[in-house]
């Protein structure tokens, strides 16, 4: 039983690397690659074969990261989310991670389903979905910077 927090932390970090790694792949690589690929007619290779696989691991890794983080907080879960003494830093990190998770499952994925043709959508709806998913993804990229800072800060950065 005393191994459990270490195991939760291990899973939290493994899944977190996959989640944020794929988030950075989308924002630092795929957006620019798609723009270039649309120019030479090779975009389908990305949208058909790469993006759906990346999105699958992205959204499930997000959920596993959050659940392992919640398990790691354990009885301190409420203290962290209510910024009680000694838990302010991890609380900010936990809130940012939670907002990002809700963004993934509540905004990015429903809009990506329209873009990828997994649900019916008109061209106009797809255009709107593309913009919404893009901004939500960029928001998560921005939020990931303070999120990781405060996760690290809990034990390594005195304030």
Q: Counting contacts by CB under 8 A, is residue 18 touching other proteins? A: no
Q: By the 8 A CB rule, do 80 and 87 touch?
A: yes
Instruction: Pick one of 57, 60, 81, 149: the residue that binds other proteins (CB under 8 A).
Output: 149
Local structure of 157: helix, strand or coil: coil
**How many C-beta atoms lie closer than 10 Å to residue 32's C-beta?**
10
Q: Between the CA atoms of 111, 145, 16 and 30, what dihedral angle is there, to the nearest 10 degrees?
A: 50
Q: Counting contacts by CB under 8 A, is residue 58 touching other proteins? A: no
Q: Counting contacts by CB under 8 A, is residue 128 touching other proteins? A: no
The encoded tokens of residue 123 equal 């061209």
Instruction: Pick one of 23, 89, 94, 151: the residue that binds other proteins (CB under 8 A).
Output: 89
Q: Counting contacts by CB under 8 A, is residue 138 touching other proteins? A: yes
Least Cα distance to 67 among 30, 115, 117, 16 occurs for 16
Give, in degrees to the nearest 5, the angle at Cα 48 between 43 and 51. 90
Interface stretch with other proteins, choices 41-49, 61-69, 85-93, 111-119 (CB under 8 A) = 85-93
Residue 84: CB minimum distance to other proteins, A: 10
Residue 92: CB minimum distance to other proteins, A: 6
Q: Counting contacts by CB under 8 A, is residue 145 touching other proteins? A: yes
């Amino acid at each position: 039983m005393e191994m459990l927090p270490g195991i939760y932390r291990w899973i939290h970090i493994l899944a977190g690397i996959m989640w944020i790694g794929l988030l950075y792949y989308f924002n630092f690589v795929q957006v620019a690659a798609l723009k270039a690929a649309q120019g030479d007619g090779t975009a389908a290779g990305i949208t058909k074969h790469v993006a759906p696989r990346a999105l699958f691991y992205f959204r499930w890794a997000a959920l596993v990261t959050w659940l392992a983080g919640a398990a790691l907080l354990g009885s301190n879960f409420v203290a962290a989310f209510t910024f009680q003494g000694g838990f302010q830093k991890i609380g900010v990190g936990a809130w940012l991670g939670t907002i990002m998770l809700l963004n993934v499952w509540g905004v990015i994925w429903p809009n990506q389903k329209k873009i990828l043709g997994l649900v019916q959508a008109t061209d106009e709806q797809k255009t709107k979905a593309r913009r919404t998913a893009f901004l939500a993804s960029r928001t998560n990229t921005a939020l990931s910077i303070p999120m990781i800072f405060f996760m690290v800060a809990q034990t390594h950065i005195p304030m």
